[in-house]
Structure 1
């Protein structure tokens, strides 16, 4: 089957949903999601969304905090772009009906309650208690579902982008994107989705690690497909580990929001001692990379599998009102907050790298855009400032929405159907599960919070062998979503390792014991392209 539209949007987080609403004003839209519209990383964003709306704040202050956290690698123009658009984005989300938390004593517009998180000099985090992402996701989903002109394809996985390579035209001409091949998981069929312009908003890469705050769909599909198509992939060495995820045998890396520390919680080691002020003058509100490394060091020094988070406000009703999801989860596991301490460990959380775009979200391939966590816009640099992710995703979705225009579509008959001949079903599906686990183990052991040259060399050797094995299996086996995910995980894992080997210094989220200092000569971003 072939679908045609003016705009093809792959991904259904805040970027994809906002873009669908904006693109529908200009033409027909196909919105693709790997599962259903309730899944994805946006839903898991607890803390909030940065906005410069307080009379005690300024764009200059937010830009300075972002650049400081980005450790010399943020693109100042991109940072200024998202900061100046932040107030308008909040107004738009309010217009769509997002019920952000309010406070009668707030001096912010609409009486919005503003929180503060690590790296921020002032209170500027707009939130919906501790389920901001879920609230935004649900509100925008409702809007998308009732907007004419948007076709939603659920349970469809990106196989590959359609480029000149698939049309068998001369590859000496500028590459152009004509849409994408999709795998329909429900029908076990392949479809061509042909569009005038295509946007990748597929999220991050968290599932290449054992412990992650990311959902199961975060396997780097868009980044891997863009790399195969010839896009530059930038800053992949900078993987952010969230300092505080719940450590419990019955909890799968449940996120304990940065906002809990902004609310006044303190970190304790296994001896019950505070330790953050010995690592950074901002203590618990230091940037996430510093907090994560401090926790990692305290765990290694003591041999303890976790550290602890103590909430200093001992009013259970007040804590439950501010953090209802976290309170409910802890209660479910027998942790009575705020009286009990919360056991926490770092887990992979966010990729600051991705598909290289310009300031309008365009990639190097004509008619192909990228935004959200799948994109590298230059905002985050070597480390992401807390709650800048939803901001960046929303602002660049808005900018792309303004940039999009109807363009002639390639005739469907010029796009060959996906060819899966000479492949067969196999009973060796255990290989997929085993290889996924092996990738996660390699990345967690060798390419985690603290790295060394030896660990990175070992990791690369093993990932190269795994990728060769996976590619051989892919070429002779009937495709499934799990196989597509495995292939993409192998590609993005290798991209992360190669980028980490290239950066011979320690900066932001990338810490290498063999190069423990920052090198001013490496104040640049590194990009990778597929060899042709």
Structure 2
């Protein structure tokens, strides 16, 4: 067990008294409206009432932004055993073999189920078209609308859940904290601009809030990915695991001054080459699989090549591939490049890595149960054992589907067994805040500074000295941010990101080796004795403890 002193944090972000806040009662509360949350909602028994909460509009999520596709052994020449083996190899010794087996076995059925719900996958010869991506030994990536798979899948799922009269969706609603009593989750305290704060009491709660990419300066994630689910779960007492494991996508469009845009793994799967500023195709120097090596290897190779050439990016080249094929397969990416005066079929596209997928999160079992009773979780907010130390491309939507089904089914069964008679517990949160939000505090500048130090010190390459510097700086910021009670989403998001950044830093300090996406230059080798998880829990006294088990 590794423990450290840490600036105390409050259990709840805001003050409240239960007699001064409206109360809503539901059977199942789902926090998050990406693929995991919406799929969970579809598993809830129609005799129960479901409230789905999303911090923005329902069609904005990491799931909707997913380009490449969803993996499954649909081709007769493929097998789920192959898919499992590829997943385990990418996971670098941290995958749970039973989890991997169950998820990949379910993949073909889950993909066909999406088609039955109206998702229009691209077709070839009357069957779902399949392509290859990095780390996959077979063509098994089902895609839709060329390179807008997530958008099409979410369209079909959202349309299905909107037609269910037992569920309601609260958009533009921010979840401040989970409510707990007697060691169990009882719902959540939420806020929106129209109604202010509201207690939502639930027999069972499912957390599906997605990722944490916005704690980094360079990221493919939308603005909503501010680690809120990780933070509220930690404050509530749930165990988090492998928080050092942030995956960096190798190819993010790099245009100085613009927001970052993902360039799908599938572009390399179709034959795209990575070249440096001199035009040299460098990937074979780093891995015999070249451009189809797993993401952690490609990201580090790109970073190394950028340093060798002293150039801020490398380039993705598909000029040798039939232009018609490229435009048909990647219409969204082609249009995105066009907006910057680039022709994907002719020009070399400037790319560099960016924070993409959070593999660390709440520890869950095969049914999606967390360590906090009455709280379930699914998707990117979890550490399920599927991805290990490096997620295989296009396994993320698959995980969200599988665990959405599991968590929804389990929460539904549990809620059915609880009678409707309910009295809210006497929860109260009060303190004296000496500093108000109106004092001179530039939230945008603080978030940018946090993203910069996380990118520099807790990014693709790490070392003990840099992690210690990051820990000290984040602690410094948190000491004065934590003294304030905010009344805005931006303030609450910053508090959550500071907390989760600190958990990520401490996990990275605890793992004295390099494994998958976690690369430490002071411990460059993988240590077989450390093929285990790093867990973090909120200990009494508001400290943090980390242990490798």
Give the structure-2-normalised TM-score: 0.91
Q: Pick one of 441, 458, 467 that aligns with 1:447.
A: 458
Q: CA deviation at 1:493?
A: 0.3
Q: Pick one of 215, 220, 231 that aligns with 2:222.
A: 215
Query: For 1:146-168, what per-residue CA distance to the aligned partner results, in whole angstroms no more than 9, with x for missing partners?
Result: 2111111111111111111xxxx
- SS at the partner of 2:58? coil
2:483 equivalent in structure 1: 472
Aligned ranges for residues 370-449 of structure 1 at < 5 Å?
A: 370-404=377-411, 405=413, 406=415, 407-408=418-419, 411-416=422-427, 426-428=437-439, 430-449=441-460
1:132 equivalent in structure 2: 149
Q: Pick one of 61, 65, 68 that aligns with 2:86.
A: 65
1:364 equivalent in structure 2: 371
Q: 1:147 to 1:13 in 2, by over 3 A?
A: same
2:502 equivalent in structure 1: 494
Aligned partners of 2:423 and 2:249: how far apart in 1?
44
Asked whether the 8 Å contact 1:442–1:459 carries over to 2, the reply is: yes
Query: For 1:448-505, what per-residue CA distance to the aligned partner results, in whole angstroms no more than 9, with x for missing partners?
Result: 10111110110111111222222112xxx34211111011101110111000000000
Aligned ranges for residues 79-118 of structure 1 at < 5 Å?
A: 79-104=100-125, 111-118=127-134
Asked whether the 8 Å contact 1:2–1:412 carries over to 2, the reply is: no
Query: For 1:203-250, what per-residue CA distance to the aligned partner results, in whole angstroms no more than 9, with x for missing partners?
Result: 000000001000111011111111111111101111100000001135
In the alignment, is residue 267 of structure 1 matched against residue 274 of structure 2? Answer: yes
Aligned residues: 514
Asked whether the 8 Å contact 1:191–1:417 carries over to 2, the reply is: no
Q: CA deviation at 1:415?
A: 4.9
2:11 equivalent in structure 1: none
Aligned partners of 1:411 and 1:442: how far apart in 2?
46
Asked whether the 8 Å contact 1:13–1:41 carries over to 2, the reply is: yes
Aligned ranges for residues 88-237 of structure 1 at < 5 Å?
A: 88-104=109-125, 111-128=127-144, 129-164=146-181, 175-184=183-192, 186-187=193-194, 189-237=196-244
Q: Pick one of 56, 77, 102 that aligns with 1:35.
A: 56
Q: CA deviation at 1:25?
A: 3.0
1:22 equivalent in structure 2: 43
Q: CA deviation at 1:421?
A: 8.2
In the alignment, is residue 523 of structure 1 matched against residue 521 of structure 2? Answer: no
Asked whether the 8 Å contact 2:40–2:409 carries over to 1, the reply is: no
Aligned partners of 2:433 and 2:529: how far apart in 1?
50
- SS at the partner of 1:22? coil
Q: CA deviation at 1:444?
A: 0.8
Asked whether the 8 Å contact 2:47–2:166 carries over to 1, the reply is: no
Aligned partners of 2:109 and 2:305: how far apart in 1?
42
1:299 equivalent in structure 2: 306
Q: CA deviation at 1:23?
A: 1.2
Q: CA deviation at 1:142?
A: 1.4
Asked whether the 8 Å contact 1:102–1:112 carries over to 2, the reply is: yes
Q: 1:57 to 1:248 in 2, by over 3 A?
A: same
Q: CA deviation at 1:253?
A: 1.0
1:344 equivalent in structure 2: 351
2:4 equivalent in structure 1: none
Asked whether the 8 Å contact 1:372–1:396 carries over to 2, the reply is: yes
1:107 equivalent in structure 2: none
1:172 equivalent in structure 2: none
Aligned partners of 1:269 and 1:65: how far apart in 2?
28
1:512 equivalent in structure 2: 520
- SS at the partner of 1:207? helix
Gapped runs of 5+ residues in structure 1? 105-109, 170-174
2:19 equivalent in structure 1: none
Deviates most, 37-46 or 428-437: 428-437
Aligned partners of 1:239 and 1:424: how far apart in 2?
34
Q: 1:286 to 1:438 in 2, by over 3 A?
A: same
Aligned partners of 1:282 and 1:519: how far apart in 2?
24
Asked whether the 8 Å contact 1:235–1:526 carries over to 2, the reply is: yes
Q: 1:453 to 1:425 in 2, by over 3 A?
A: closer
Q: 1:235 to 1:294 in 2, by over 3 A?
A: same
- SS at the partner of 2:42? helix
Q: CA deviation at 1:402?
A: 2.4
Q: Pick one of 240, 262, 265 that aligns with 2:247.
A: 240
Q: CA deviation at 1:412?
A: 4.5
- SS at the partner of 1:414? coil
In the alignment, is residue 284 of structure 1 matched against residue 291 of structure 2? Answer: yes
Aligned ranges for residues 36-51 of structure 1 at < 5 Å?
A: 36-51=57-72
